[in-house]
Every structure is written in C-alpha cells, then in structure tokens.
Chains A and B, each alone.
Chain A
Amino acid sequence: MSHRRGCLHRARRIVKLGCLLLAAALLLAAERAGAADFKVGALANRSVAICRTQWDPTVEYLNAVLPGHTFRLVPLPFDQIIASVAAGDIDFIITNPSFYIELETRFATARLASSRTSILGKETTSYGGVIFFRADRDDIRNLSDLRGKRFVAADGYSLGGWHAAWLELKSAGIDPFKDFASMKFAGSHDGVVQAVLDGSADAGTVRTDTLERMQADGKIDLSRFRILPYPDTGPPYGAFPFLLSTHLYPEWPLAKLAHVPDETAREVAAALLTMPLRAAGKPGENAHAWNVPVGYESVRDLLRELRLPPFQDYGKISVADVFRNYWQIIVLIAISGAGGLLTLIVVSYLNVKLKTSRRELERELEARAAAETRVREREARIRSLLNATTDSVFLLDPAGVILDLNEVAAKRRNLSPAELIGKLLYDTLPKHAADARRATIETVSRTGEAAFIEEDRHGRSYNLRIWPIFGDQGEVVQLASYSRDVTDYKLSEKIARESEEKYRTVADFTYDWEYWLGPDGRYLFVSPACKEITGHEAAEFFADHGLMARLVHPEDRQRMLAHLADAAGGLTGECELDFRIIRPNGQIRWIAHKCRPIHREDGTFLGQRGSNRDITARKEIEAEVAGLKNLMQNILDSMPSILVGVDGLGRVTHWNSLAAKAAGMPFAQAKDMPVDAVLPFVRDERERINAAIRDKRVHKVAKKASVTGGETIFQDITIYPLAGEDALGAVIRIDDVTERARLEEMMIQSEKMMSIGGLAAGMAHEINNPLGIILQAAQNAMRRISPALVSNLQTAKELDVDFEAVTRYLERRKITDYLADINEAGLRASKIVQSMLNFSRRSQSRRALHSVAGLLDKTLELAKSDYDLKKNYDIKKIKFTTDYDQSDPRGYFVETEIEQVFLNIIKNAAQAMAEKVYQAPEEPAVSLRTRRDGDRVQVDIEDNGPGMNEAIGKRVLEPFFTTKAPGRGTGLGLSVTYFIVTNNYGGELYVSSEPGRGTRFRVVLPLGRAGDEV
C-alpha cells in the first residue's frame, strides 16, 4: 500500500513537472512568435486589388484566431515572388502551384494547406486551363488545328493561364514557340479573353472559370466562344464544374518559408483548416478556405515535362551527377594524385563528349520522328476523313478482294477492319447482293466507267457508287466502292411524301374555299373547293390575283375591298365578314369570310390564311326564318284579337299590334315584362294565367266588363297553354265582344217580340170576337138611347115613356158615360191586340218608292193632327226643325209602316217633353235630320226632353215597357217601331240619351232596290 502510494505520488510529481516545462515552452514560443510580424506574400496574378479581395479574409481570419500574432498580406507580382522568397522578405506565401514547386525545390518552402475555392457558388479544389477561340471560328476543331494560328496566354508563369495548356499542346506534338504563327502573353487572364474577342489572337488559354467569371461579371457573352474540351470525362474531370481543356491541378497552396518555426507553422495550419468557406462578396469573385495540403506531383511532372523552373536544367549533367556516377574513377584519380585539375578535365571531357553524341542522336531522332510524324499524321488525316462519314468505303482489287476499308464498312459487317482485309467482298454479302456486286465490279473493271447501283439487303437500302482507279497504263487496277445507307433517307422521304400527301388531301378536300395569300399578294394555295363555290377553278385564282375581289357582289365590293386591303397590309387580326359573290352563271352565293395573318415562330409575316364558306343555304334559311317571323307577326297583327304570348313565368314573349295598342307601349318595351303589369285587361288575371300554364288547360273568362276611355266594353279572355310537351307558356287572346254582346241582347229582345207576336196572333181572334161584342153592344146601346135615332122615339112613344126624361135619367146616373167608357176601353184593348199582331204579321202592303223626307213631313202632319197628341201633349208648342239630306234619299217602303215608325218616335218625344219644365228661352224642340249613308239612310229624331237614365234607355224598346201612367200609351209603340225597322226592313234602331239634355233615336234604313216593291 505505502509503496504504491509512493509510486503514484512520484508520477504526479513528474506530470506536474512536465506541465510546467510545457507551459514554459509554449510561453517561450509565443514570446518568440509574437516578436515577429508575419508577412503573408500572395501572388497577384490578376491585380493587387483582386489579390487583396481574395486573400485578405484568410489573413484577417488568422489575425482573429491567433491573437498572439500579427499577419499582414503582401501582394506580389509574378516577377517578385522568387526574389521575395529568396530574400526572406516574407514568412508565408500563397501562390500558384508552379511557383510553389520552384519555391519548394529551391527554398524548401513547405505547404501548410491547399486552397478550397468557391467560384460562382461552386466549390473546387483543383483547376486547369481552358483553350478557347471565337465561336465563329469553324476552322478549329482540335489542338492540331491550332498550328499556324496566333495564340495568346495569360503569363509565362501562370499554371492555369499557360502551363496547363502548354502541356496539352506539347502532348499533341505542338511546340507553341515554333508551330504557332505567334505566341503572346497578355499579362492577365482578362487580357487573353479580350485579345481573342477582338481578333488580335486566333485562340488563347486562361485559367478555368475565367470565362464563366467574366460572363457573370457581364464582361463577355460566353456563347461567343467555343473551347477545345478535355477529352477525358471520367473522375474527376466529369464532375469539374467549369469549362476545361487540360489536366486538372491542385489549387494554390499556402506555404511557410524555411525560416518560420514549426510551432508557428502548426498553429497557422490548424487555424487555416478551421476557416469557414464564405461565399464571395460579389459574383465572379473567388472565396477561399483551406484543406489539408495535397500532393503537387502532377504540377511537378508538368514543370518537369515543360522544363520549367526548377527543372530548367533537367537533361543536363551536374557536377553532383558526375560525382555520383563516376565516383570510383574520381576517387581513383584523386588517390593516384592527379589532383582536382585532372578531375575537372575528365569531367569537362566527358561532358563535351556526351553532349556531342547526345546532340547528334537527338538531331537524327528528331528528323526521323518528324518524318514519321508527318506520315502518321497524313495517314491519320486520311483515315479520319474516311471514317468521318456514314458511307462504307472499300478499296478493292478487280477481283473483289478487300484491300482496305473504313470503320463504317467493318462495322456494317460486325467485324474489325483487320478481319476483313484480304477477304473477298462478295463473301460478306448475301447471295443476291453478291451477284449484283460482282457483275457491277466486273463491268467497272472492264469498261473503266463508274457505276451506280441500288441494293437492298438485310432489310436496309443502300446506294452504291463504284469508281475505277486506273494504273499507269490506264488499266483498272483498283476500285473504290462507296455504299451509303439510304434506308432512313428513304423512310423519311416516304414519311415526307405521306405527310405531304396527307396535308395535300386535307387541303384539297375541304368543303370551304380555303386560300393562302403570300406576303406579296400572290396565292400560295387555293383549295379546289373554290370551283364548287365560285364556279372558278383554283388555277384561275392563281393566274388572276384580282379575281376574288371581282367576284364580290357590287353592293358588298367596297366593304370587301377595304377589308382585303387591310388584311394584305397585315393590319387586321383574325376577322370575319359576310359577303356575296356572283358566279359566272349569275347565281348569287353568300360567303362567310374569315381570315387572319399568319406568322412563322420567329415572327416572319407569311401572309393571310383565308376561309370562305358557302353559307347561301344558311342565309336562305335565315331569310326564311326572318320571313316566317315576319309572317307570324303579320298573322298575329292581322288577327282581330289582342294576342299575347307569355313564357312559363307569365312574361311577354310576343304580342300583336292590338296588344301594343291596348297596352299603349310597343313590344320592345313590354318584352319580358309580366303581362299583368303591362296589359290592363289582364291586370287581375295573374292567377288564371298561372293556372292555365300549370294545368295545361284552357281557361276562359267570358264577357268580362272593362271600362276604357269612359266606355264599358266586354271582352272574352282566353288563355291557351302552349301545347308542346316541354313548352311552358301560354297565348292569351282577348276579344272585344261588346258588339256581339249588344247583338245578343237585341236578339233576345227580338225573339221576345216575335214570341209576343205569335201569342198575339193566336189570341187575336179569340179576343177580337168578345171585343166586337162589347163594342157593338156599347155602340148599339149608345145609339138606342140617342134621340137621333127615329126608332128610339117611336119605341118610347109606343111604350108611353118620356124619352127626354129617360135621357135625363141616363145622363144623371152617368149611364151614358159608362157606355162611353166601355166603348173606349174596348177600343184600347183592340188597339193592343192590333199592335201585338204587328210583331208577327208581315206587311201585306206593297212597298213603293218613297222620299224619306216626304214620309217624315207626312208623319209630322199626322202627329200635329193626332187627337191624342193634340189633346194631351200640346204638340203645337213643340218646335220642329228639319235638316234633310239634299240628295233626297228615296227607298222602297210601305208608307204606313214607316210613318208608324216615325210617328211612334215623335209621340214618345212629345210625351217625354211634356214631363220637362222648360226655362226660357229653351222650348220643346224636335229636330229631324236625314243623311244618306251609302245605300242606307240615317234618320235622327232628337228631342231636348228630360232624357233617360241608362237603365231606362236599355229597356225603352222592350214591349210593354212604359214610364207613363196606366192607360197612357200601350208600352208597345217603340217596340213596334223597333220591330218594323229591324225585322221588316233589316235596318237598325239606336237610342242614345243624356239625362236632362234629351234623347236621340237613330233609324238606319236600307233604301232597297227596284224589285223590292212586293
């Protein structure tokens, strides 16, 4: 236990001591390093400013993470790198790999890290060169094409801007300083690009990413350049993100100079590896971070191969070399005492000898190599020429033995060229082809004339040309056979032909008159359908470019010409219009024209594409439809009814002129309005209309009364639902039945009278006999009490009666009056029967020609002498005025009937006027007026009596209707008048009256014709 504790104690002590020592060492190192101000040299290959932009971040980072030290960036141009390192002016160096190798070799400069670069957002750790030229140079396809060209590189020290390309050139056998027309250095990468761009150099080389960077900076258009791409696309080349023409080399290293202590180098190296890679501030600027140092063997090899520093002496013999190779001799000589002089002599002798033989050998070898190279190059060119074709090429002897062939020929037979040389060509062909080929080759050999044959084999088609090659004596010694696989060509030709046929078919078999008018106004295409439409062949349109315009109907021509002019100028977009053409036979056809300008994808104007469609049939149908519409409207308008079409919601879809008149608005205004809102007569019929539409049943309102313009009219409203299954809607018909209603009333009245007449006729006989008895008896009684009759007095005398006393008695007891009453009542009854009989009795009297005015005058006389009128109505006080038509209308009448007509009216007037109290100066007056009305006469008899109210006016013609007290008038007078006028003469009788102002009767009588006498 104690022993172990002792050991542990001792170990702790050792550790403590170690820690103390280590801390001291670190402190010492820090002190020493802190004493120095580290300068970081950097190759300013482009400019000092760019150099600072690129490397300042690294220096600043070092300052930041290593606060014990101070680092300062020192930009160095190409020519100061070596000097600065040699002089130890700087402590670290950032430079390109070429310089680095030299510095490493010569000054033991040691790399600490290799750059990791972010360029244009892409990260790389390697770079190379890119060989480029202007895109318009089609004479440069590979490195060899650069011979004889003017070449420009960035700088003699630049790896990417020169060395990389140089090595590729050298590998291709090109010595830039001999084989180029000129070899220049622009001093900077951008300068190289500029020189190529302005044509002062044919091609150039710059560091990879230069072109992309300049493009990103907007300095160049990359598409104006082409490059020679590096042929290897395997790793890492395939993944390299920039244009590349050369091997890739590691990016720049950061190296320490020999005098920098290892501790400092470690610190710096560790710090560099932790530096983050930030994106550059500006596009096109590079940003850097650091990786562990990579090997620069590839750079070393490049420099060695190019004999560049530090390998500029490579291939020379140094003193050290001699000593190494010949040390035994030298030791021997030294031992034998010959001394240093001898040694020098030997060395210089050997050197001279070696140099001489070596120079000779090199010269010979170079000459031979040059010749061989030329031959090889020439053959390679010819072979590449032969191989750079898709034709198979054979060189044959006249027997058909293959002397040589190209790769295509071998490949077609799936053999290598070597396997085919010496074989008989015919053996490589199927039998039918072999035979034909043999025959052709024999013919060509014999005649010396080239032959052309077509051949199908293995499902493919070939075109063959066999050319003779003549010997010195003009004999055919060899033949060249060229065979071209035309399968695809034939196929594409066939496809093209089919395609052409397809589109031609489409174009030629259109129904429309299609055309394509070129930009020069000439037809490029006119479809054959033009013949059917215009009567002119397509050829006529091709021959006569003004034909279309001339076909246009004169009325449409101005319009069409203006359009065609606009279209030809490309002024119109897609547009259409209708016009008419006149065919050669004079027929007119309607054309719907559509055209539009057409342009190729690049905007080139290709002319106008037009389609002309024959729409004559459509136009005819349209005209027919318009005609039908018109006809329908005319039919609707011709109907004596108000007709309104409504849709399922009762909105107006059609209406005729009567409807428009009734509504007081034109159709356009009423369209789509609810019919009950626009047509007053159906204002309250909405429900009925809806019901008719809903139930598909006709609804009718008969004799509906409406007041319009102060007059009452009667209308039948009928709502017919549309008949179609799917048709929703109705037609509303409104008929004015006012006249009919009135006629019906008159008919009823007439029938009533007729029936009265029939009744009267039946009763008359039965009543007349008793009336006869009554009246005879009354008259006989009155006669037999009268003193006038002699037999009365005789009888009284015989009976011894005082006749006078009897008479006095009879009078006092009013017997005489009773008898008179009986007589009068009997007479009145008799008159009633007589009047009633008039309703049934056709006039038995003959009609004769009478002047209407004469009949009126005669009636007036009758009226004035009428006992009843005289006695009861004071007719003499009535002032009669007459206003007769001057043409004195005459007609065929029964005098008594017409007199009765007029008399009844005058009597009625007189009776009515008697009931009015006239205020002076107004006095009872009746005016009589006649007017001829065609073959009728109109007689107005107008009084200024009290008039009648409507109710009485309506009934005034009714039989037995009277306003007079019983016993005054029979109530039949006007009925008889009416009956005579309407029934006997087919005339009309109207009564109009205004209460308080008077009544007017209007009698309209047909005048009749000769022959109506009976």
Chain B
Amino acid sequence: MKSEAAVILIIDDEEKIRAGLADYFEDEGFAVLAAASAEDGLAVLAANPVDLCTVDIRLPGASGNEFILRAHGLNPKMKFLIYTGSADYELTATLRAIPITDGEVFTKPVENLSLLLAAVNRLLGRTAP
C-alpha cells in the first residue's frame, strides 16, 4: 500500500532539531536523511536520491541559501522547505525564481509540526494520511 517512501533530507546544525524532525517525518512514513551542514548535505545528495530538503539557513560553512541553489542545480525537481531560527529571514530573488514561496518559509519554532507536514505533502503532491 505504501509506495516507495519519499526521501526527506534534513539539514540543520542543531542535532536535537535534526533528530526531532527526523523522528516526526519517519513517524509520518518518510525516509529521512540528515546532515549537519550544507557540505554534508550535498554529500548526502550525491549518494542518495532525495525528494525534499528542509533547510536551516544559518549553518557552519556554506549557508542554507547556497545549499538550496547548489542542490537545485543538482536536481531541479527537488523541493525545499526553509526552517530557520532567523526571524528576519527573507527569500532572495534567485530562491524565489526556483520557485520557493513564503509558504515554504517557516520560522522556528513552528506552533505545530503538522504545519511543516502540510507543506511537505503539498510540495510532494501527497495527500495527508
């Protein structure tokens, strides 16, 4: 019944955030990969097919924005959710051009993780379970 599970890559330098999100999405039936930096994330992408990335912006090394651009360059079909602690984050023009909209930008903490899930399902064309 379950088709091949969609793969979500979680990039966040905060381990507990990564773990929490990973647990949540795994609970929701996704295949979850995780990386602590943009560089690690790209390495993951190189080795695995990924459908969607949740990206923290402030990262050691390259920023989340750079990661998105690079990842998009690797796989234009890949979807992105931005999940950042920066309250004043604004999408750049190039990101908007991918396109990523304000609807895909979430500031930590989200009131309810189901909001993230709803966005992921919407991006991946899945219906809520």
Contacts and interface: CB of A to CB of B under 8 A. Distances in A.
Partners in one complex: yes
A789 B90 CA distance: 35
A764 interface: yes
Interface in B58-98: 58, 84-88, 90
A780 B107 CA distance: 18
Interface string B86-119: 1110100000000000000001111111000000
Contacts of A840: 88
Contacts of B30: none
Nearest to A836: B87
A387 interface: no
B20 interface: yes
B108 A772 contact: yes
Contacts of B27: 780, 783-784, 789, 791
B5 interface: no
A844 B109 CA distance: 20
Given A784-B27, A834-B87, A776 B111 contact: no
B108 A771 contact: yes
A761 B88 contact: yes
B21 A764 contact: no
A766 B58 CA distance: 11
Interface stretch (A519-527, A825-833, A995-1003): A825-833
Contact of A768 (B24, B90, B108, B112): B108
> Which residue of A761, A775, A784, A789 has the most chain B CB atoms within 10 A of its CB atom?
A775
Nearest to B116: A776
B34 to A, nearest CB: 13
Contacts, number: 78
A2 interface: no
A837 B21 contact: no
A841 interface: yes
Contacts of A784: 23, 27
Given A765-B58, A776-B24, A776-B109, A837 B88 contact: yes
Given A779-B113, A830-B111, A765 B85 contact: yes
Given A765-B85, A769-B108, A844-B90, A777 B24 contact: no
Given A773-B16, A841-B88, A783 B108 contact: no
B43 interface: no
Nearest to A776: B20
A826 B108 CA distance: 11
A658 interface: no
A308 interface: no
> Which residue of B20, B23, B24, B90 has the most chain A CB atoms within 10 A of its CB atom?
B20
A802 to B, nearest CB: 21
A306 interface: no
A774 interface: yes
Interface in B13-35: 14, 16-17, 20-21, 23-24, 27
B87 A764 contact: yes
A490 B21 CA distance: 144
B17 A776 contact: yes
Contacts of B21: 776
Contacts of A841: 87-88
A837 B89 CA distance: 12
A772 B112 CA distance: 10
Given A771-B108, A773-B16, A765 B87 contact: yes
A773 B21 CA distance: 9
Interface range for B: 20 to 34
B16 A777 contact: yes
Contacts of B58: 765
B85 A773 contact: no
B107 A768 contact: yes
Q: Is the interface of A mostly helix, strand, loop or mixed?
A: helix
A769 B87 contact: no
Contacts of B108: 768-769, 771-772
Nearest to B90: A844
Given A773-B14, A776-B113, A779-B24, A768 B85 contact: yes
Interface range for A: 20 to 34
Interface in A827-859: 827, 830, 833-834, 837, 840-841, 844
A764 B86 contact: yes
Nearest to A773: B16
Interface string A775-801: 111011001100001010000000000
Interface in A156-175: none
A1014 to B, nearest CB: 14
Contact of B86 (A765, A771, A780, A789): A765
Contacts of B90: 844
B85 A769 contact: yes
Contacts of B88: 761, 764, 837, 840-841
Nearest to A841: B88
B109 A772 contact: yes
A492 B70 CA distance: 135
B121 to A, nearest CB: 16
A830 B108 CA distance: 8
Nearest to A777: B20
Contacts of A833: 87
A761 B87 contact: yes
B6 to A, nearest CB: 17
Interface string A752-772: 000000001100111011011
Given A777-B20, A783-B24, A830 B87 contact: no
A812 B12 CA distance: 36
Contacts of A834: 87, 107
Given A765-B58, A827-B111, A772 B24 contact: no
A768 B109 contact: yes
A985 to B, nearest CB: 20
A282 B53 CA distance: 160
Contacts of A774: 109
A765 B59 CA distance: 12
A826 B109 contact: yes
Contacts of A761: 87-88
A761 B86 CA distance: 8
Contact of A773 (B17, B86, B112): B17
A789 B24 CA distance: 11
A841 B89 CA distance: 10
A766 B23 contact: no
A775 B23 contact: no
Contacts of A764: 85-88
Contact of A779 (B84, B107, B112): B112
A765 B111 CA distance: 16
Nearest to A774: B109
Given A772-B108, A775-B110, A780 B85 contact: no
B112 to A, nearest CB: 7
A776 B85 CA distance: 14
A826 B109 CA distance: 8
Given A768-B85, A768-B109, A772-B109, A780 B24 contact: yes
A606 to B, nearest CB: 107
B107 to A, nearest CB: 7
Nearest to B114: A779
A780 B17 CA distance: 11
A244 to B, nearest CB: 144
A827 B107 CA distance: 12
A609 B86 CA distance: 104
A783 B113 CA distance: 11
Contact of B20 (A766, A773, A791, A826): A773
A772 B87 contact: no
5 contacts: A761-B87, A768-B109, A780-B23, A780-B24, A844-B90
Shortest beta-carbon contacts, A-B, top 10: A776-B20, A772-B108, A768-B85, A765-B85, A772-B109, A764-B87, A775-B109, A837-B87, A768-B108, A773-B16
Interface of A: 760-761, 764-766, 768-769, 771-777, 779-780, 783-784, 789, 791, 826-827, 830, 833-834, 837, 840-841, 844
Given A783-B27, A841-B88, 11 more contacts: A765-B84, A769-B17, A771-B109, A775-B113, A776-B113, A777-B20, A783-B24, A789-B27, A833-B87, A840-B88, A841-B87
